[in-house]
Chain A
Amino acid sequence: MELSAYPLELPPDDRPMVRFMNVTKSYGSLVVLDDLNLDIQRGEMVSVIGPSGSGKTTVLRMLMTLESINGGVIYIDGKPLTHMERKGVLVPADEAHLRRMRASIGMCFQHFNLFPHMTALQNCMEGPVQVLGLSKAEARDRSEELLKMVGMIDKKDQHPSRLSGGQQQRVAIARALAMRPRIMLFDEVTSALDPEVIGEVTEVIRRLVAEHDLTMLMVTHQMGFARDISDRICFFYKGKIEEQAAPEQFFTNPQRERTQQFLRAVKDAD
């Protein structure tokens, strides 16, 4: 589809928080995502599952604008994210446009990626002070409140090297939330954790789902957790959405052969 065929904005009665429209991503000749179409509604929690290499992380990274896309357009709240308007048509976004749009998206990574030379509190304050221009006092209040929420307030002056994986991930969640994003992305945030601390992180995400109207997209291998908290499960297979459905439906009555195979394999592994 030609870029000129994409709307400059989505119509007011059809504005999901996120829309992937015919999105294609490839690395050289390797097509990682092929003509992806996916809507995420305001306040929805969507879990992305699928075999290794199926493109799950890539979906999140494109949305966080960590990766460029090769085809299609991503819309955020009806406005193009990956593109911008020039003389009545969409052209690839420049850095200024990306910066504007990126402000509504936050992301947590598998390996936390906290800043090692800053304390937990400084990690949380960095974005609000440097990017949002908040005063130190405002940023501190906001950060401490979030650290309280994730149960890390008593460790606020510790550097990441002194924290366990689960604690680091909770700080990372607080750091992302301190930017007040409307969309949160979680990429296997518990995969690098010891089993006994996974719960403290999933508990935080559970609370986010219950108490905030964030729109969330989460890649996870924890089927039980995904089933519990998601509004929808999206199963990726080889760069395409093979099946998507509400959790009950998805786990009890998967329609596609490949979904059934995948769920059987996951169950056997448990």
Chain B
Amino acid sequence: MTFDWKWDFVWEIAPRLAAATLNTLLAAGSGYAIALVLGLALALGQRTRWPALTFILRETLEFIRSTPLVLQIFFIFYVGPQVGITLSPWVAGMMAIGLHYSAYLSEVYRAGIEAVPKGQWEACRALNMTTRDTYARIVLPQAVPQAIPGMGNYLVGIFKDTPMLSVIGVTELMQTANAIGSETYRFLEPYTLVGVIFLALSLPTAGLVRLLERVLRRKLGM
């Protein structure tokens, strides 16, 4: 066994991996966008005056959180057509990721909202503000900066989970590295490169999230 790293092979596969990186970013980005919006809706949905809705949402989210993402991906992609919902691997994958992570993000939002002091709600009521304005103008602007570190962690988490989309044939990084490996019987370079790319993308993200949090807090005068 020799450890033979071939640079010319690296350059040869780099364009394919670069294209796959874009796909990975796209999948992570759109999954995250879904999770951000859906997570907020789910967090707010648990705070309505209908206890039944709160109960159903809470149990559903608990279920989503306690089953593997990969199962949810399979489920949406393969079981969907049986009930008449046929989705491309891309769309099914993004929806699975978005749904899965919305369950986690709703918790992050919930904690952020609960951290807003009771006095803020009471001031809104004393000013006769609507519930909608209270959330949109007073509560969420204070809850979101609070939630940003958690939101950032899940962005990195989503990113690291995108290889799971390879199981339904989305040509993201992992799928591409696998394909290169089975075509050329060389695995060292493609997998190493995938690792390096993930590292190179995750690290700055964490830094950016911290920066965003600081900027936002300053902008909001807190």
B-contacting residues of A (Cβ < 8 Å)?
A: 64-66, 99, 102-103, 105-107, 109, 111, 113-119, 126-127, 130-131, 159-162, 175-176, 179
- Given the known interface contacts A130-B133, A130-B137, the answer about A179 and B127 at a Cβ–Cβ threshold of 8 Å is yes
Least Cβ–Cβ distance between B164 and chain A, in angstroms: 38
Given A116-B222, A130-B137, residue A99 in contact with residue B128 (CB < 8 A): yes
Q: What separation, in Å, do the CA atoms of A134 and B214 have in the docked complex?
A: 33
B47 at the interface (CB under 8 A from A): no
Question: Could you tell me the distance between the alpha carbons of A209 and B148 in the complex, rounded to whole angstroms?
Answer: 46
Does B68 have its Cβ within 8 Å of any Cβ on chain A?
no
Partner of B127, one of A66, A117, A175: A175
Closest-CB distance, A119 to chain B (whole angstroms)? 7
Residues of A within 8 A of B117 (CB): 113
Q: In the bound complex, how far is the Cα of B220 from the Cα of A162, in angstroms? A: 12
- Beyond A127-B127, A127-B128, A179-B128, whether A113 also contacts B122 by CB under 8 A is yes
Could you list some 17 contacts between A and B, CB below 8 A? A66-B125, A66-B126, A102-B126, A102-B128, A103-B128, A109-B119, A109-B126, A113-B117, A113-B122, A115-B138, A119-B221, A126-B127, A127-B128, A127-B129, A130-B129, A159-B222, A160-B221
A64 x B125 contact (CB < 8 A): yes
Q: Is the interface of A mostly helix, strand, loop or mixed?
A: loop
**B196 at interface by CB-CB < 8 Å:** no
The smallest beta-carbon distance between A111 and chain B, in angstroms, is 6
Q: Is the CB of B126 within 8 A of A64?
A: yes
Produce 1/0 per residue, B200-222, CB < 8 A to A. Answer: 00000000000000000000111
Q: Is the CB of B125 within 8 A of A65?
A: yes
List 8 additional contacts besides A66-B122, A111-B119, A113-B122; criterion CB under 8 Å. Answer: A64-B125, A65-B125, A99-B128, A113-B123, A116-B220, A117-B141, A127-B127, A131-B130
